[in-house]
Amino acid sequence: MLKAFCFILNFKTRVLPTVTPGYLRPLIPDSAPEKPDNWTDVMSDIERVIMPGVTHWHSPKFHAYFPTANSYPAIVADMLSGAIACIGFTWIASPACTELEVVMLDWLGKMLDLPSEFLASSGGKGGGVIQGTASEATLVALLGAKAKTMQRIKMEQPELSDDVIVSKLVAYCSEQAHSSVERAGLLGGVHMRKVKADSSHKLRGEALEDAIKKDLAAGLIPFYVVATLGTTSTCAFDRLDEIGPVGNRYKVWVHVDAAYAGSAFICPEYRYLMKGIELAESFNFNPHKWMLVNFDCSAMWLKDPNWVVDAFNVDPLYLKHDQQGSAPDYRHWQIPLGRRFRALKLWFVLRLYGVENLQTHIQRHIGFAKDFEKLCMADSRFEIFTEVQMGLVCFRLKGTNEVNESLLKKINGRGNIHLVPSKIGDTFFLRMAVCSRFTKSEDMQYSWEEVSKSADEVLSA
């Protein structure tokens, strides 16, 4: 087992594998063995079959997308969860699974200083749940908002049929929102309007209000808006302090998608970026991105979960139990029925790191991003594309998109570090995300040198 971990953390290898599609099938038999294989052979196949096709997300040289978290406490807790192997869809299906989740979401909510209405410990309606992904949280909140608005409109205009109401519903997000937000609209069967962001790529209250007013004038029904705190392309923060009041004024459910950047709110100095949170109905971030809890662990809080619970409530006899109503039955808060014991890994990480070390982890990553930004700015060939606030630097060579596309190709082709690009409007740029918990200053220096050497090659060609 230890050997397997060593393979996984072998940062000397290329970050990106060199295999081509279909590489794996010839390496293993055509069908399952009739008689059992032995452990030694299975484990040695990890090195022979699997590792050549692994992209090393935890290498300090991996800078693509956003991070995915990893830590020993979370790995051990996940193994325990696998060993306990309960399915906690109702309280009685495994009381510890539900009860630890309720308390962990309170611990975590307090770490972010969320308004008390979101916490189960406040004694009100609110509470938290662990979803698998931010995409699911966005969809679940959308379905809750849809149920809430349907009920309101039916009271106000009883002559309208369900079909007519649904056809008029409009949800909103910034043009910079993650693709999962657009998908939530598709899956929820409603129109998702993308509102233009400002010159800093943030969704502003005024632009949202204009869009809502136009839709109301056209007889449509605005019902849901997603504010992104930390967009995927540039880590821009939508102006929740402006979006919240607009949402509340027009009875539009405000959902906050802070998938990556939400972890930074455990540090008090970054909480100004979630100003307006008290006006949101639901809030979500992924400890599995940046808070050292292995995938999957997407924390979601709702001020009034009943809208979601009622939207999904089908109650077959075989899932009923005597204690119904005295603790959450989380099957009503999510899309699937089955659910793993994910709160264990949150519990282990929070206890074995402590809040202070988790804060330090975030602060170090942001510090590394600022160091990289300085290196970039000190080289007159480069420019920074957007303000660096978290662990992401968006940068480019001064000049055409073509030269930047060549730069990216060169960097990834050398294979020593890995980056992905993005494009806003007509401008192509490179994204350098600080991803690994093993990253040190020397690694950022190394990554910068890779970028710089690649630029030398591109510019001299």
- Select the residue interacting with ligand PLP from 57, 91, 253, 260 (CB under 6 A): 260
Shortest approach of ligand PLP to residue 266 CB, angstroms?
A: 18
Instruction: Output 66 or 253, the one with its CB closest to ligand PLP.
Output: 66
Q: Is 283 left (phi over 0), alpha (psi -120 to 50) or beta?
A: beta
Shortest approach of ligand PLP to residue 186 CB, angstroms?
A: 15
Q: Is 259 in the site for ligand PLP (CB under 6 A)?
A: yes
Touching ligand PLP, residues 66-125 (CB under 6 A): 66
Residue 97 · residue 89 · CB < 8 Å: no
Binding mask 141-180 for ligand PLP (x = CB under 6 A): -------------------------------------x-x
Q: Is 286 in the site for ligand PLP (CB under 6 A)?
A: yes
Task: Tell me the angle at which helices 205-217 and 240-249 cross, rounded to the nearest 10 degrees.
Answer: 20
Instruction: Output 200 or 400, the one with its CB closest to ligand PLP.
Output: 200
3-state secondary structure of 128: strand
How far is Cα 51 from Cα 151, in angstroms, rounded to an integer? 52
Q: Is 416 in the site for ligand PLP (CB under 6 A)?
A: no
Contacts of 55 (CB under 8 A, 6+ apart): 15, 16, 17, 62, 418
Q: Is 219 left (phi over 0), alpha (psi -120 to 50) or beta?
A: left
- Select the residue interacting with ligand PLP from 104, 134, 277, 300 (CB under 6 A): 134
Total residue length of the chain? 461
Angle at 422 between CA 285 and CA 138, to 5 degrees: 25
Closest Cα to residue 280, out of 300, 309, 297?
300
Q: Residue 398 has which token pair?
A: 């001064």
Q: Is 359 in the site for ligand PLP (CB under 6 A)?
A: no
Alpha helix (H) residue ranges in 378-440:
401-414
How many Cα atoms sit within 13 Å of 420 on the Cβ side? 12
Q: Is 135 in the site for ligand PLP (CB under 6 A)?
A: yes
Shortest approach of ligand PLP to residue 178 CB, angstroms?
A: 3
Instruction: Output 264 or 458, the one with its CB closest to ligand PLP.
Output: 264
* Number of chain positions touching ligand PLP (CB under 6 A): 15
Instruction: Output 300 or 376, the one with its CB closest to ligand PLP.
Output: 300
Q: Residue 170 has which token pair?
A: 């409009």
How far is Cα 266 from Cα 320, in angstroms, rounded to an integer? 38
Q: Which stretch binds ligand PLP (CB under 6 A): 118-126, 131-139, 314-322, 452-460?
A: 131-139
Shortest approach of ligand PLP to residue 392 CB, angstroms?
A: 10
Angle at 443 between CA 133 and CA 53, to 5 degrees: 55
Instruction: Output 153 or 430, the one with its CB closest to ligand PLP.
Output: 430
Touching ligand PLP, residues 295-324 (CB under 6 A): 298
Residues labelled as active-site residues: 178
Shortest approach of ligand PLP to residue 219 CB, angstroms?
A: 31
Q: Which stretch binds ligand PLP (CB under 6 A): 3-11, 34-42, 256-264, 428-436?
A: 256-264
Q: Which stretch binds ligand PLP (CB under 6 A): 76-84, 133-141, 272-280, 325-333?
A: 133-141
Contacts of 163 (CB under 8 A, 6+ apart): none
Angle at 305 between CA 160 and CA 264, to 5 degrees: 120
Q: Which stretch binds ligand PLP (CB under 6 A): 230-238, 304-312, 388-396, 445-453?
A: 230-238
Q: Is 294 in the site for ligand PLP (CB under 6 A)?
A: no
Largest CA distance in the chain: 74
- Select the residue interacting with ligand PLP from 59, 70, 81, 228 (CB under 6 A): 228
Angle at 283 between CA 281 and CA 287, to 5 degrees: 165
Residue 441 · residue 447 · CB < 8 Å: no
Instruction: Output 57 or 66, the one with its CB closest to ligand PLP.
Output: 66
Instruction: Output 57 or 91, the one with its CB closest to ligand PLP.
Output: 57
Q: Is 133 in the site for ligand PLP (CB under 6 A)?
A: yes
Q: Residue 332 has which token pair?
A: 């009503």
> How large is the C-alpha radius of gyration of the chain?
24
Q: Is 329 in the site for ligand PLP (CB under 6 A)?
A: no
List of residues contacting ligand PLP (CB under 6 A):
66, 133-135, 178, 180, 228, 230-232, 257, 259-260, 286, 298
